[in-house]
Amino acid sequence: MEEKKYMSPYVAGIGLGITLLLAFVFMGRGLGASGAMMRFEVWFLNLFASDHVASNPYFSKYANNPLNNWLVYEIIGVMIGGFISGALAGRLKFKIGKGPNISNKGRLILAFTGGTLMGFAARLSRGCTSGLALTGGATLALGGWVFMFSVFAGGYALAYFLRKQWI
């Protein structure tokens, strides 16, 4: 199957905005991913170390049926939707997106490091890009706007140093 062209970012942005609006209308809250990951992690940790989960104040507040939260099912839907979208667009294959000046290993190390930093920052700031930026920005929360400006400022600051990996 031949790869199809990417969707227009303007159409995708409008679609994301409508999805966020529908989440507010039907679920009474916005989108997010890090809360779902935290609940899944607590559920998994509770399988092996339930005493630790019960004695930890941070984990214990998520331990009461952690998979019974709509965000967990939102993330499952995102994964299923991404799989279907990739299949329909002819992009369902294993591939490492990188520039010519970096090895596969180097690209994976940078991706893992960036993902780890974003995951840690998401829990530290009590929200990920979808939860804190999209939902926070839509509700005009100051933290959401500060977060998004910080993400863009950090991206632009690091772009100069990392651009050689992509060109």
Tens of pLDDT along 67-108? 788 888 888 899 999 999 999 998 888 888 888 888 999 989
Which pLDDT score, from 0 to 100, does residue 38 have?
Answer: 81
State which residues form the domain around 128. 97-167
Q: Which of 37, 62, 93 is a domain's end point?
A: 93
Which pLDDT score, from 0 to 100, does residue 41 have?
Answer: 83
Beta-carbon contacts of 86 under 8 Å, excluding residues fewer than 6 positions away, are 92
Residues 120 and 83 in one domain: no
Residues 82 and 104 in one domain: no
Residues 83 and 132 in one domain: no
- Phi first, then psi: what are they for 149, rounded to 5°? -65, -35
**What is the CA angle 81-85-88, rounded to 5?**
140
Q: Which residues of the chain have pLDDT under 70?
A: 66, 167
Residues 140 and 89 in one domain: no
Which pLDDT score, from 0 to 100, does residue 18 have?
Answer: 94
pTM for the structure as a whole: 0.73
Residue 16, amino acid: L
Q: Which of 93, 112, 133 is a domain's end point?
A: 93
Residues 11 and 69 in one domain: yes
Look over the chain and give the mean of its residue pLDDT values, rounded to a whole number.
86
Residues 50 and 128 in one domain: no
Structure tokens at 115: 């993902």
Structure tokens at 42: 């607590």
Residues 111 and 89 in one domain: no
Which pLDDT score, from 0 to 100, does residue 83 have?
Answer: 93
Residues 5 and 84 in one domain: yes
Q: Which of 93, 126, 155 is a domain's end point?
A: 93
Which pLDDT score, from 0 to 100, does residue 68 have?
Answer: 81
Residues 130 and 72 in one domain: no
Number of domains the chain is built from: 2
